[in-house]
Structure 1
C-alpha cells in the first residue's frame, strides 16, 4: 500500500463524506471500568444494540467487581470484552479462576489480552503470549481474543526506539490465531495523529501482519485531561498534536472532539478499502455519556432502547 503522504499532501485538506464517517463509526466499541459503569443507570438507553464493551482491569480492582460488571452488561445484550492483564495475574491457577468466573457467571466469550498492569509482575506471568499459550481461553470457550497495538510505539517494550520487538510479538500472536482458529484483532492505544496511525497500519501490513485493527480514539474531553493521559501513556506524536492545540487560544478552552482525526481516517479508509483499520474503539476520557452521545450523533446511530 502507498504511504499516507502519497495519499495526502501536508497542506491538502481532506474531508470525509458523511456516509464515509458513518460507515467508520458503525459498530464502534467503548471502554468502561466497574467504577465508571456504576454511574450509568441504563446502558441500553445510550448504547447501540450489540455494542462491544471492554472492561478495563485497573490494578487494585477486585475480580468480583469485574465479573459483576461483565454480568450486568451481558444481561443487557452487549458483547463484553474484559481486559486480561498478564502482570496483574500471579499464576495460571488465578487466570483459570478468572476465566471460569467470566465464562460461568457472565457468559463471556471475548477478552482483550494485554501485558498490562504495573512494571513489576505480580508473579510468573508478564506477557500476553504466555496467557494465549496457556490453552485456558480455549478451555473456557473464549472465541474472540484481541491483543494490544501501539501506533506510536511501545517504549516499555522497545526501549531502543526500534519497532522490531513489537512487530515480532504481533507476528507470534497472528501465528497463534492461525493455529488456534481464534478470531483475533488488534485494539490500539488511543491516538490523536491520523497520519501516524495510518503510517503504522501500513507498516505492519507491509511486514506481513494482517490482523484487523480496532483503532483507539479519545472521546470528547477537556484538553488538559487528554494531555495528562497522553503523558501517562507515553503517546509521542499525538502529544505534539495536543500541545499545538493548547497554543491556539480559540481552541484552548473548548473541549476536544475527535472529528478531525476520524474525518481523516474515514476518508483514507474509503479510498483504501483493504486497509487493516476496520473499527473504532472509544476511550471515554471525558465520561461515558458524552463519548457515546458524540459517537451516536456523528454516526447516525440509535441506542438499543431509545429514550423519549
Structure 2
C-alpha cells in the first residue's frame, strides 16, 4: 500500500473522532475543551458509582461546551421502565437526548426488566423522548461472557430494529491493541450487509501499566505479539504509550476490508481527556 493511501486512511479515521468521559470528568472536559474540535461527539458513561444527577450534569456540560453529548444507558443497570423514562426525560430537558449509547452493562443479573440493550430498545421508550441516533456495542475480539453467536444475532437485531424505527445506528467497539481482529470483524459485518458507521475503540495515550490493567479488566487480548504491534514491550512497562502505530496499522487494515460503511475512531481517555485531545491534535498534524 502506498504512503499516500495510508495517509488518506489515517486522515479518514481521525476525522470527527469521538471521546469518552465519566460523570466525574466535567472539570477535565472544560480543561480539554479548547483542544477538542467543536461538534465532536463526547460519550458520557453510565457507571455504578454515578447517579442520574451526575450523568445529566455531565451531558449538559458537553452540550454547553459546543460538543455532542452521547450519554450511555446501561440496560442491565436500569431498575424499571419508569427509571428509563426519568433518565431520558432529564436528558431531553437539557437537550442531550438525541444521541445515546444503548449498552448491556456489567451486572451478571439485570437489576430490572432489561436483560440486554436490544430488549431495552424494543421497549419503544426511546422514540418518545426524541432519540434520533443510537450507538450500539461491537466486539471485534469477542466478549468474555457472551458467545459469538449471541453477539452476532444481537448486533444484527439492533441494526435492523433501529432501521425500522427510522433511527440511525452507530457501532462503537470495545478497545483493543491489535488491528487484525478489527479487520476480520469488519469483513464479517460486510457479509451481513451491515454498513452503519463504525467507531473503533482506541486507548488514548496513557501509562503502559494502566493500559494493561484496563485490558485485563475488560478481557482484551494482551499477548506479547499484540502489545508489540501497539508499540511497546511487555518486558518494559515503564513510561507511557500512544496509539500512533495502532492507528497507522488500522488505516492500512481498514482500507483493505470489504466494509462499505464509514470507519472512525473513539478514544477511551484512560490517560486523561486533555492528554488524549492534545495527542490527537499533534498526531493529525503529521498527516
1:210 aligns with 2:199: no
1:186 to 155, 160, 171: 171
TM-score (norm 2): 0.91
What is the CA–CA distance in structure 2 between the aligned matches of 1:271 and 1:166, rounded to whole Å? 24
Partner of 2:205: 220
Aligned partners of 2:123 and 2:269: how far apart in 1? 32
In structure 1, the partner of 2:14 is: 25
Tell me if the contact between 2:190 and 2:258 (Cα under 8 Å) persists in the aligned partners: no
Alignment of 1:40-51 (within 5 A): 40-51=29-40
2:285 aligned with 1:300, yes or no?
A: yes
Deviation at residue 119 of structure 1 after TM alignment: 1.7
- Counterpart-to-counterpart distance in 1, 2:285 and 2:258: 21
Moved more, 171-180 or 269-278: 269-278
Higher relative contact order (CA 8 A, sep 6+): 1
Per the alignment, in what secondary structure is the counterpart of residue 226 of structure 1?
A: helix
Q: Distance in 2 between matches of 1:204 and 1:18?
A: 25
Q: Aligned-pair distance for 1:243?
A: 7.6
Unaligned runs of 5+ in 1: 1-6, 8-12, 302-308
In the other structure, the counterpart of 1:123 is: 112
Contact between 1:25 and 1:279, CA under 8 Å: does it hold in 2?
Answer: yes
> Taking structure 1 as reference, are residues 226 and 43 closer, same or farther at Cα in structure 2, changes over 3 Å only?
closer
Partners in 2 of 1:202 and 1:69 — Cα distance?
Answer: 36
* 8 Å contact from structure 1 (residues 30, 52) kept in 2: yes
Partner of 2:70: 81
TM-score with structure 1 length normalisation? 0.85
Q: 1:162-200 CA distances to partner (integer Å, 9 max, x unpaired)? A: x21111111111110221110101100001101111111
Alignment RMSD:
2.4
**Structure 1 residues 127, 274: CA separation in 2 closer, same or farther (over 3 Å shift)?**
closer
- SS in structure 2 at match of 1:41: helix
Cα distance in 2 for partners of 1:230, 1:85 equals 20
User: Residue 190 of structure 2 contacts residue 259 of structure 2 at CA under 8 Å; is this kept in 1?
Assistant: no
The residue matched to 2:13 in structure 1 has which SS? helix
Who is 2:130 aligned against? 141
Shift of 1:155: 2.2
What's 1:62 paired with? 51
After superposition, the Cα gap between the structure-2 partners of 1:272 and 1:240, relative to the gap in structure 1 and judged at 3 Å, is closer
- CA shift, 1:275, in A, is 4.1
1:241: Cα distance to partner?
Answer: 1.8
Match of 1:306 in 2: none
Q: 2:81 aligns with which of 92, 103, 115?
A: 92
Give structure 2 stretches of 5+ with no counterpart: none
Q: 2:17, 2:266 within 8 Å by CA — same for their partners in 1?
A: yes
SS at match of 1:142: coil
SS in 2 for 1:58: coil
Q: How does 1:157-196 map to 2 (within 5 A)?
A: 157-158=146-147, 163-196=148-181
Measured in 1, the distance between the counterparts of 2:125 and 2:181 equals 35
- Conserved in 2, the CA contact under 8 Å of 1:231 and 1:239? no
Task: Look up the match of 2:23.
Answer: 34
Contact 2:138–2:172 (CA<8 Å) still a contact in 1?
yes
Larger mean CA deviation between 198-207 and 281-290 belongs to 198-207
Q: 1:239 to 1:231 in 2, by over 3 A?
A: farther
